[in-house]
Amino acid sequence: MASDVPMSPELEQIDGEVQDIFRALQNGFQKMDKIKDSNRQAKQLEDLTEKMKECKRLIKEFDRILKDEEPNNPSEVHKQLNDRKQYMIKELNSYVTLRKTYQSSLGNNNKRVELFDMGAGSSEPAAEDNIQMASAMTNQQLMDAGREQMTQTDQAIDRSKMVVAQTIEGGTQTASALTQQTEQMKRIGNELDSVHFSLKKASQLVKEIGRQVATDKCIMALLFLIVCGVIAIIVVKIVKPHNKNIRDIPGLAPPAQNFQISNRRLLSS
């Protein structure tokens, strides 16, 4: 199908690559009838499948660029480009159906045909594409795919249950640890209050002891001064016993003088 629709250089390049792949697919399926060996046919079918995957990627890229250029294209041009895209999708789906036919003839049921999710002017998969995917699979493939999907779902549920159980267990352990830490913090707070009270009492006791020590030092200093004065007077009286400027300390008169006074009293008697 020759294209006379005005395209941008990017769309024109993609369209040319898609047409080259369609020609390669046509020639490849024509060669399938000439190949007699089943292994070579399977290898040829795998090569054609890779080409169809590449074609699907290019059609998706074509659709993406078409959406980007939609504001700049007239509505008529956009409609023609969209029809061009639909033609490529239908052409590709025809090769997908042909591949399914050859695959069934080879008895190769371990591969399923891919879903080409390119809707008309929409990024969401169309209902027609879903029908084509289901029709491209045999009953056995559908059953196997369903069982596999159910197995994967069960495994995912089991993993989710395990994660939930681990989360609950971790939450329980965390709550227990927080409770223990809270009680420990309370005990530490009580101990700090006791330590603070003890420090306050000790500070008061130290102040009282300091005052008592200061008082005792004053008393001792005063006693020391008194003792020093008494010692000084005694020394002076001994050195200079006839010094009249120094008064006698009661009970500490010189012995000689006391003896003379006693003798005089005896003579008078």
Instruction: Return the pLDDT at 108.
Output: 43
What count of Cα atoms within 13 Å lies in the side-chain half-sphere of residue 221? 6
Instruction: Return the pLDDT at 115.
Output: 39
Q: What is the mean pLDDT of residues 48-74?
A: 89
Q: What is the mean pLDDT of residues 206-228?
A: 85
Is 143 within a domain? Answer: yes
Give residues with Cβ within 8 angstroms of 140, minimum separation 6.
109
Statement: the pTM of the whole predicted model exceeds 0.75? no
Domain extent for 103: 1-112+139-153+182-199
Is 249 within a domain? Answer: no
In this prediction, residue 251 has a pLDDT band, given cuts at 50, 70 and 90, of low
Q: Quick check: 127 pLDDT over 80?
A: no
Number of domains in the chain: 1
CA torsion, ordered 88, 91, 93, 98, to nearest 10 deg: -150
Which residues is 122 bridged to in the sheet?
119
Instruction: Return the pLDDT at 267.
Output: 54
* Residue corresponding to tokens 């005005």: 6
Q: Quick check: 119 pLDDT over 60?
A: no
Q: What is the mean pLDDT of residues 6-22?
A: 88
Which residues is 256 bridged to in the sheet?
none
b/e map of 164-174 (b: 16 or more CB within 10 Å)?
Answer: eeeeeeeeeee
Is 49 within a domain? Answer: yes
Of the candidate ranges 10-14, 24-28, 201-205, the one whose mean pLDDT is the lowest: 201-205
Instruction: Return the pLDDT at 50.
Output: 92
Please provide the average confidence, as pLDDT, over all residues in the chain: 77
Task: Report the distance separating Cα 83 and Cα 91, nearest Å.
Answer: 12
Q: Which amino acid is at 5?
A: V
Task: Report the distance separating Cα 86 and Cα 150, nearest Å.
Answer: 34
Q: Quick check: 131 pLDDT over 50?
A: no
Instruction: Return the pLDDT at 161.
Output: 86
CB 132 within 8 A of CB 108: no
Instruction: Return the pLDDT at 129.
Output: 47
Of the candidate ranges 88-92, 127-131, 240-244, 256-260, the one whose mean pLDDT is the lowest: 127-131
Instruction: For residue 241, give the nearest of 264, 223, 267, 260 by alpha carbon.
Output: 260
Instruction: For residue 52, give the nearest of 80, 13, 93 by alpha carbon.
Output: 93
Q: Quick check: 237 pLDDT over 80?
A: no
Burial bucket for residue 113 (CB in 10 Å: 0-12, 13-18, 19+): buried
Instruction: Return the pLDDT at 93.
Output: 92
Q: What is the mean pLDDT of residues 239-267?
A: 56
Is 147 within a domain? Answer: yes
Instruction: Return the pLDDT at 121.
Output: 41
User: Could you read off the pLDDT of 134-165 as tens digits, one per residue?
Assistant: 444 566 666 777 777 788 788 888 888 888 88
* Residue corresponding to tokens 């329980």: 172
CB 253 within 8 A of CB 233: no
Q: What is the mean pLDDT of residues 106-118?
A: 46
Q: Quick check: 29 pLDDT over 60?
A: yes
Is 76 within a domain? Answer: yes
Q: How far is CA 253 from CA 10, 197, 243, 247, 263, in A?
A: 139, 61, 12, 10, 16
Instruction: Return the pLDDT at 143.
Output: 74
Q: What is the mean pLDDT of residues 76-92?
A: 89
Give residues with Cβ within 8 angstroms of 89, minimum separation 6.
59, 116, 118
Give the angle subtended at the CA of 85 by the CAs of 83 and 89, to the nearest 5°: 115
Is 54 within a domain? Answer: yes
Give residues with Cβ within 8 angstroms of 21, minimum separation 6.
51, 52, 54, 55, 58
Is 189 within a domain? Answer: yes
Instruction: Return the pLDDT at 8.
Output: 85
Is 84 within a domain? Answer: yes
